[in-house]
Chain A
Amino acid sequence: MTNLKSVLIIGAGANDVQHGDELDSAIYQVSRVFKNMKIKTILADDNPFSVSLEKVDEGRIVPLEVDSLVNIINEFHPDAILPTLGNRRAFELTQELLEKGIIRKENIQLLGVPEATIRQVNSAVLLERTLRQMNAPTKKIVTVNNYQDALDEANKLGYPVIIRSVLPKSSSTRKIVHDRSELADAVKQCLNQSRAEQVFVQQSLAGYKEIEVIVQRDSSGTMMMLSMIEDMDPIGIHADDSIAFNPVQTLLDRQIQDIRDTAFAITRKLRIVGTNHVQFALDTNSDRFYVIKSSPYFDRMTAFAAQSTGYPIAQVTAQLYAGKRLRDIDLGDKYVHHAALVEPTMDHIAARVPVWGFSELPKASKLLGTEKRSVGTVFGIGRSTIEALFKAIESRYHEPTDFHLAAQKQLTDDQLIAKIVHPEAGRLFVLIEAMQRGYSVSELSEMTKIAPFYFAQINKMRLLIREIAEHPNKEPILQKAKSYGLSNQLIAKLWKTSPEQVYQMSRDHQLTTKYKEVEPSAGEFDQHTGIFYSAYEEENEIAKTSQPSALVVGTGGLRLGLSNAGDYFIAMLLQELREEGFNNIIINSNPSSVTLSPELAQKRYIEPAAVENILQILQVEQPQYLFIPASYNHLLSALANYELNTKLIIIPDDLPMNPAGSDRQRYAFNYVYDGEYAYPLGTTTNLFSPLALKYQSTSLRYPADLPASMYQNIGKQASAAVSKVDKPGLYQVIFEQADDGFKLLKTQPLSLPEVAFLSKVLHINLPGIFTRLFTDNVNNDISNLLVYKPMPGTVTYRATFPFKALRVKGGIPAQNRVIGAQMQFLEN
């Protein structure tokens, strides 16, 4: 494989409910490794929030369709295609390319997976057949064509069973049958729906434990297990909506080894090179387990495994794709020799919790089931299950824990039971309340199918909360609370005092936070990843980062509205800081975020963005600059009470409030303003008529279609308006078409999604320019950075929304509901 010179990576497109930043992050890291190996990376993607598109050798912004890929292949003649960094869609596209014959004709190699495996990933039936051939344990399915046979099979399998139509006529029908009385109707309905007049009678795995394994294989067949992760919620609740722990918390060694053996066997059979995410259902009563899914591509779980173990999965996988064997990989002087071959072992626990979009989409169903409801994820790391979990929950900055705790008190007993049996988002707090009201572990475990171990933890959390509340302002209790990961905010609420008081108390008692490194050998080797988490223990492993340094607070889990534009902005900001000579330090809790790449920040703190954490880290690091997103308004106002001894710069991640709805067309004149001059960046306008979008402009075109005379005229007004702003930054001036011309509506900071879009339109690094406006003391002349070629044609930006995925009927597109976006260059 020494002749690998260029690779085409198929990107993932707009973020959606199924995927977020993790793929951009993986592409970014993989392409950097390729660059070091002198392999050219060509990336096809249309996600305006992608960092990689701007960093690879050839970023091509094209619709993710087979024709675009064919054009790129004809232009670059890549040696290989990498389909594993673009979600399922990339596999489908690769299969289409295979069917077109272009891959064979051009003699293009497939990296990561062989052709047969691509077909199997795209077809559940094919994969099922392979799994059966290799005697891997899968759920039992039989085909019948009448009620009597269905009844016999259901009796054999045991209820509940799932009845499905074979070759369904319209939408696929799937019925969960809990007992015999429900069977006849289900069989009848599904028979009617089947073009073959047959139904599947299928074993239900609902209620079993869900286990996720990340394994890795190289081209010589060496395999290793990188992580085994346990979901707290059973099968029946989407894995991404469950609280998950790395490593597994309740499994016996025998179960772990059997699952590992099967995951290895599948990965070997599918001849995967790179990582494979295999999901299992474990029936703890019979000790039987079943393979649910095999995903040989990067996903949220791979990102979580990498960040929580400290094993650099993307860097290693990139080299495996390029044909290296695990034994040939050198991870550099911060790791022991052959570290790539050491299976990660953890001396900490990582908890991953879902992030919901309910504040933006109040009508979305909160009921949890097999369909995903969450939009993002955050994680916390601790030295106990509870500490990790509390930190993870606190990392959902926009959903305060104390609020959730208080809300459950209002429930009646019937409501509480209903919420236990029909779980909703945020169920952990319901379970805490249930234990408070005296439900026993066995009752709760029976109702929820959650392992008793977790109720032991929940009970401990409950008792801890009670103990704290009963002993206000007591130092030993504070120490205990902090060692279990509670935030000052929550402690203050329980003590009916202020977080400032709690912070002062911890300072008075010298309760200083210490930090431990996330390192994949659990201390056996002297290795350093640069990932740290707080711990209230004896040893402190932190050392001040060498100066000059900058501390940046990340935007946290993916949230509706901002999508990954915040991660894009911060990644580009970090890059600019690095180029200016700063050593970067980031605080973030989103395992998928590209900003947690070691190339962008040499030190990464996995911590909630709580004021006490920022103050502690400021004390350790004493950075020149502190960057905080504007949306962290509680944090910012709390920090205003303290002497920070650093220069605070606000990252404008707030979404502009739209002026009241109107059916008039609006135009935005965009600028970089350095405090003296306003540099024009051109105009944007709504892509569709405001009426069609119910007055919400979430689709844009660049440039706006204004006559030149008009353009000059309003342009002058716009520049004048920007020059009145008191702070340098990225701004836009909004005009609305009026009967007699144009009316200036307002001047506002450019939203980060638009910053990302304009950066790609103009091929300039606007976040970098923003950064330079605040940091470069010697010479903040930015005019040389603003050189861009006016391009012909039009560029469009279309936001995408999670309405369909989250089953929101009649959802109205709005800026705060955006989950992703697509952009496209059109020739006029």
Chain B
Amino acid sequence: MAARYLIFEDGSVFAGEGFGSSAVTFGEVVFNTSMTGYQEIITNQIYNNQIVVFTQPNIGSYGIQRNIYETIVPTIKGVIVRSLSDAAIDNGRQLTLDKYLQQMNIPGITNIDTRAVVHKLRKAGKPLKGSIVPVPDDHAFDQLHATVLTNQQVAQVSTPKPYPNPGTGLSIVVIDFGLKHGILRELSRRKCNVTVLPYTATSEEILRLDPDGVVLSSGPGNPQNVRKSVLEMIRTVQTKVPLFAIGLGHELFGIANGANVKPIPVEHHGMNHPIHEIITDHIVYATQGEGYIIDRNSVDRSQLFITYVDMIDDSVQGLRHRRYPAFSVQFFPDGAPGPDETDGLFDEFVDTMNRREAHH
């Protein structure tokens, strides 16, 4: 394996060995502390324009599995690991992580001191731009400094055209901000008849399909950079049908109802924080992937109430509308990867829709 480097805008360099694609890429560097599910993480579109450092050292041990993608064309900018372990895979059809990243044009670096990188990111206390390069020379740093990362990530990853995921149950519209397949999987399990629409869909386009409910998907980036018409759409849709929002969708739901978002100093990606479910007083675990959170003080309590709070950083992890059957969570109740403890939220969503059916 050839030498490859992870360089940062502050001039620091971490050396390792390249795998996957040999492309030079730029992105925000974040770390993920999950101990399971590297394939699901790499294929999660929330990592659009980001380089992900895995703290779990041993990555690649089961190669790439055909049935656990979270998207077909991942847009992550790089995969940084301590110890790439491409397992012996007998089945000729199955890909190794190395081959897969080559095909997807994503560079990786192994044998990097990932713990040192994590310490650096934690101490920086702000997002750091980085690049994966073959030579950490002045040219590489010039390019890194000159590169402006797009803030229109949702536009890059949302589906351009509507598509169906037919089922025999309730009809649901999913708005794609960078959808992960976990959401579709959970809806399929509940036999839902799903139509996925681009994030540009207007309330008219959505309601024309007469859905029983609408899901706002997770997605990448800063919600403040998503076009404002989305907020208008949310404000209209939530008055008409049950709404369930996840991740970026949750942040947009909050903004649409008067709350503000703020960046957190160190992006949080993992599945081990205790999350307090206020109404039941239970503590649950779920996968989280967040760079922005709802500012607690900005929540208009006459419109919304807070349903979940992260017990480590006190961040708002869930909201519910006081008047409409609309609720949202910052974390990923669909897991993939991660604990199942909150997948009941999909049942709750289905129940909400069924109750409304019964009323009508």
Contact = CB atoms under 8 A, between A and B. Distances in A.
B283 A222 contact: yes
Given A249-B61, A260-B339, A538 B37 contact: no
Contact of A453 (B61, B285, B335): B61
Interface string A526-553: 1000000000011100000000000000
Given A522-B118, A537-B116, A338 B68 contact: no
Nearest to A457: B85
Contacts of B83: 383-385
B140 to A, nearest CB: 19
B93 interface: no
Contacts of A453: 61-62, 85, 87-88
A220 B68 CA distance: 35
Interface stretch (B162-170, B234-242, B266-274): B266-274
A336 B312 contact: yes
Interface string B98-129: 00000000000000011110110010000000
A342 B338 contact: no
Contacts of A260: 339-340
A252 interface: yes
Contacts of A456: 85-88
Contacts of B113: 537-539
Interface string A657-683: 000000000000000000000000000
A521 B33 contact: yes
Contacts of B89: 452
A251 interface: yes
Nearest to B34: A345
A343 B285 contact: yes
Interface stretch (A76-84, A86-94, A201-209, A346-354): A346-354
Interface string B15-31: 00000000000000001
B62 A347 contact: no
A455 interface: yes
A253 interface: yes
Interface string B187-202: 0000000000000000
Contacts of B87: 250, 452-453, 456
Interface residues of A, number: 49
A341 B274 contact: yes
A247 B116 contact: no
A346 to B, nearest CB: 6
Contacts, number: 147
Interface in A243-269: 247, 249-254, 256-257, 260-261
B14 interface: yes
B122 A526 contact: yes
Contacts of A383: 57, 82-83
A191 interface: no
Given A347-B115, A538-B14, A252 B65 contact: yes
A484 to B, nearest CB: 10
Contacts of B57: 347-349, 383-384
A471 interface: no
B90 interface: yes
Contacts of B271: 343
A516 interface: yes
Contact of A341 (B62, B268, B283, B336): B283
Contacts of B119: 523, 539
B311 interface: yes
B33 A522 contact: yes
Contacts of B65: 252
Interface string B116-160: 101100100000000000000000000000000000000000000
A342 B272 contact: yes
Given A347-B114, A347-B118, A452 B88 contact: yes
Report whether over half of chain B's contact residues are helix, strand or loop; otherwise say mixed.
Answer: loop
Interface in A327-348: 327, 336-338, 341-348
Contacts of A220: 281
B118 A384 contact: no
Interface size classification for chain B: 35 or more
B252 to A, nearest CB: 27
Contacts of A516: 115
A348 B339 CA distance: 21
Nearest to B272: A343
Contacts of B62: 250-252, 453
B56 A522 contact: yes
B47 to A, nearest CB: 16
Contacts of A537: 113, 115-116
A218 to B, nearest CB: 9
A254 B338 CA distance: 8
B127 to A, nearest CB: 16
Nearest to B86: A456
A385 B312 contact: no
B254 interface: no
Contacts of B323: none
Contacts of B55: 345, 347, 522-524
Contacts of B337: 253, 256-257
B184 to A, nearest CB: 16
B338 A257 contact: yes
B58 A384 contact: yes
Given A456-B87, A524-B118, A222 B270 contact: no
Interface in A506-530: 516, 521-524, 526
A442 to B, nearest CB: 5
Contacts of B115: 347, 516, 522-523, 537, 539
B50 to A, nearest CB: 17
B281 to A, nearest CB: 8
A221 interface: yes
Given A516-B115, A538-B113, A247 B311 contact: no
B88 A256 contact: no
Interface in A188-229: 220-222, 224
A320 interface: no
A326 interface: yes
B40 interface: yes
Nearest to A451: B87
A448 to B, nearest CB: 13
A338 B312 contact: yes
A253 B185 CA distance: 15
A565 to B, nearest CB: 37
B272 A344 contact: yes
A539 B116 contact: yes
A777 to B, nearest CB: 41
A309 to B, nearest CB: 10
Q: Which of B82, B87, B271 has the most CB of A within 10 A?
A: B87
A144 interface: no
B117 to A, nearest CB: 9
Nearest to A247: B35
B85 A538 contact: no
Interface of A: 220-222, 224, 247, 249-254, 256-257, 260-261, 326-327, 336-338, 341-349, 383-385, 441-442, 452-453, 455-457, 459, 516, 521-524, 526, 537-539
18 contacts: A252-B36, A253-B336, A254-B68, A256-B36, A257-B335, A327-B311, A341-B283, A345-B270, A347-B115, A385-B58, A441-B90, A453-B85, A453-B88, A456-B85, A456-B86, A522-B115, A524-B122, A538-B14
Q: 6 tightest CB-CB pairs across the interface, nearest first?
A: A253-B37, A253-B337, A539-B116, A523-B118, A341-B274, A522-B55
Interface of B: 14, 31, 33-37, 40, 55-58, 61-62, 65, 68, 82-83, 85-90, 113-116, 118-119, 122, 266, 268, 270-274, 281-283, 285, 311-312, 335-340
Given A338-B274, A342-B274, A456-B85, 12 more contacts: A247-B35, A247-B56, A256-B36, A326-B283, A327-B274, A343-B272, A345-B272, A383-B82, A453-B87, A455-B88, A516-B115, A539-B113
